[in-house]
Amino acid sequence: MSSPVTLADLAKMDNADFIATVGGVYENSPWVAESVLNSAPFDSITSLHKAMKGAVDSAPEEKKLALINAHPDLAGKAALAGELTAESKEEQGKAGLDTLTQSELEHFTKMNDEYKAKFGFVFILAVRNATKHTILSSFEARLKNTRMKEFEECVTQIHKIAWMRLLTVLEPADTGFLTCHVLDTAGGKPADKMKIVLKRVSGGGKIGVIGEFVTNDDGRLTGGPALKGNKEFTVGVYEWTFNVGDYFAKEGSSLAGTPFLSNVPLVFGIDNPEDHYHVPLLCSPYGYSTYRGS
């Protein structure tokens, strides 16, 4: 795959090159990219996606229907005939749809046919991070919906597909960063001097341990964000490991010889590398919780 285009390079392109670069993020529908040319240049993938999404959402019903039907079936005829776009081939391949057994293939054909017979359009699911099992259970669940709900769901899935395609084509803006905060809910105070390890579990960049930190008096990471900018803060799955056991031992509040909580792992996903993700931990010796903060 060619290396991602920077937003600065995208801004310098003429219309034809702009369409050649991002025209394929809405499957077989370059009109979406064409309709945002007036709003160029874009300073982030987020703003480009927002503009493209807006063009689709404000398009008439027939145009949305044509957009849905511009997608190939999952594990359908086009896939079998080797006629998928490069983008769709990659996505369907990542979900394992290019290595189905004969009986799995028949199952997919049955679900595609049932879905089309009920709703009159192609079943759409963003499958880049899916498996054949999650796709089949999604088919089952969505077959119970109304046509209107499914129409909306397909458009929502198309926006997700476009977002993930933009992330493969363009280099994100350098604005994203990851922060943390640990609060001791038993003591009613920030958890200071707690050791935290950060690992990248999957995604772009080095996999494995990528940082070791200690919280300051305010329970935040000494030295600022754990990851910062588009070289470090990439789409993927990450894991904090909080050394809660040692912290509460230091506080003198661990009553047991073998503490109930020792290391607390927290696995979280980064979908928008241009955003600020604040991933905190609220903990006591016997429980913990988190949320996506700001």
Ligand X SMILES: NC(=O)N[C@H]1NC(=O)NC1=O
Whether residue 142 is annotated as binding a ligand: the answer is: no
Nearest approach, Cβ of residue 126 and ligand X (Å):
5
Residue nearest to ligand X (CB): 88
From residue 185, give the alpha-carbon distance in Å to each of 196, 250, 262, 288: 18, 15, 16, 9
280, 180 contact by CB (below 8 A): yes
220 labeled part of a ligand binding site: yes
Distance in Å, CB of 112 to ligand X, minimum: 8
Mapped onto helix, strand or coil, the DSSP state of residue 268 is: strand
Q: Pick from 107, 163, 181: which is nearest to 137 by CA?
A: 107
| CA-based nearest residue to 215, from 143, 283, 126, 121 | 283
Structure tokens at 245: 């056991």
Give least dist CB 123 to ligand X, A.
Answer: 6
**From CA 245, how far away is CA 264, in angstroms rounded?**
9
Rounded Cα distance, 29 and 100, in Å: 28
**Three-point CA angle 121, 155, 56, nearest 5°:** 115
**In the bound complex, what is the minimum distance in angstroms from residue 21's beta carbon to ligand X?**
19
Q: Within a 13 Å sphere around the CA of 35, how many CA atoms are in the beta-carbon half?
A: 16
49 is catalytic: no
| Residues lying near ligand X in the complex (CB under 6 A) | 27, 71-74, 88, 91, 122-128, 161
Is 181 annotated as belonging to a binding site? yes
- Closer to ligand X by CB, 123 or 240: give it: 123
Distance in Å, CB of 157 to ligand X, minimum:
6
**DSSP letters of 159-212?**
HHHHHHHHHHHBPPPTT-EEE-BEEETTTTEE--S-EEEEEEEEESS--EEEEE
Considering the candidates 71, 107, 159, 278, report the single residue annotated as catalytic.
71
| Residue set of the binding site for substrate | 181, 220, 291
| Residue set of the binding site | 181, 220, 291
Catalytic residues: 71
